[in-house]
Amino acid sequence: MSALLEVKDLQVAYGSILAVKGLSLTVNQGEIVTLIGSNGAGKSTTLRTISGLLKPKAGTITFEGERIDGKSGHDIVSKGLCQSPEGRRIFPRMSVRENLDLGAFLRNDKDGIEADRERVLDLFPRLRERYEQKGGTMSGGEQQMLAVARAMMGAPKLLLLDEPSMGLAPVLVDMIFETIIKIREQGITILLIEQNAAAALEVADRAYVLESGLIKMSGKASDLAKDEAVTKAYLGG
């Protein structure tokens, strides 16, 4: 396995406050890697920095052997790094169709786009029913499906998912995690951020535990799920 994404000693600051204090992580081709941690640990900040929405203070981010830290967001998307952001952030006054179109904004391969459109609509049949409905009028679960589907329309090599289960009913949470496994089966590598550590550790191959801006622990997801400290802190055991 080769490293698709490599983050080394990443530091990110908001003004003078350091939110990420020297984080390193690796995502290999074909893996599901999860980054778990409590609220305010720096998970979303890390993901936003990888996507180029924030500039790192120090450290490197390498994607397919190429440095991408400090590059602008649209450059990074064009390399095949697509994110479904925290809070869904779908375009509320646009229909499902238009949202999906925007997911493929940088692509020119018409046939590929149409094939991917069918693929994500098969993955989330509900979106097919809501196809011409405005994003802002859909339920939270439907919006989450749209956010993931939209990210997949960018033909990602690496899909970044920020809290896809946040605020969803339990039955929808299960559905989202099942879908994450299906997405990986289609050959897409995934970096997943979650507060729902139990579910995340169940689907992931490897996991990192983030605490106040630093990686506290890392390893195989199944091992971490059994670890006493992790169980106590994140799994309510």
Partner 1 sequence: MSIFTSGYQARQLRRRYLERSLGTVAAFAILFWLTINFLKSPSQFFQASLIGLSNGILYALIALGYTLVYGIIELINFAHGDLFMLGAVFSANFITIWFGKESSGPSAWGVFFLCLLVVMTLSATVNVGIERFAYRRLRRAPKLAPLITAVGVSFCLQFVGLRWNGSGPKTWDTVLPAGAFHISGVSIDYTTLFSFAVTVPLLLLMSWIVTRTRQGKAMRATAQDQDAARLMGINVDRTISFTFALGGALAGAAGLLFQQTRGLTSYNLGYQLGLIAFTSAVMGGIGNLQGAVLGALLIGLIQGLNDGLPIGLGQQWSQTVVFSILILLMAFRPTGLLGKPTTEKV
By CB under 8 A, the residues from 156 to 215 that bind partner 1 are none
SS3 21: strand
User: For residues 8 and 107, which CB has a smaller minimum distance to partner 1 in the complex?
Assistant: 107
The nearest distance, CB 47 to partner 1, in angstroms, is: 10
Rounded (5°) CA angle 59-20-147: 100
User: For residues 145 and 224, which CB has a smaller minimum distance to partner 1 in the complex?
Assistant: 145
User: For residues 13 and 106, which CB has a smaller minimum distance to partner 1 in the complex?
Assistant: 106
> Can you tell me which of 94, 155, 217, 235 binds partner 1, judged by CB under 8 A?
94
Stretch that binds partner 1, among 25-33, 58-66, 86-94, 192-200 (CB under 8 A): 86-94
> Can you tell me which of 11, 26, 60, 91 binds partner 1, judged by CB under 8 A?
91
Contact between 49 and partner 1 by CB under 8 A: the answer reads no
CB of 140 within 8 A of CB of 64? no
The nearest distance, CB 100 to partner 1, in angstroms, is: 11
Contact between 151 and partner 1 by CB under 8 A: the answer reads yes
Q: What is the CA radius of gyration of the chain?
A: 17
Helices (H), the chain: 43-50, 73-78, 96-103, 110-123, 125-129, 140-152, 170-185, 197-203, 221-226, 228-234
- Distance, in Å, from the CA atom of 201 to the CA atom of 224, rounded to the nearest integer, reads 8
Residues belonging to the chain: 237
> Can you tell me which of 28, 59, 97, 101 binds partner 1, judged by CB under 8 A?
101
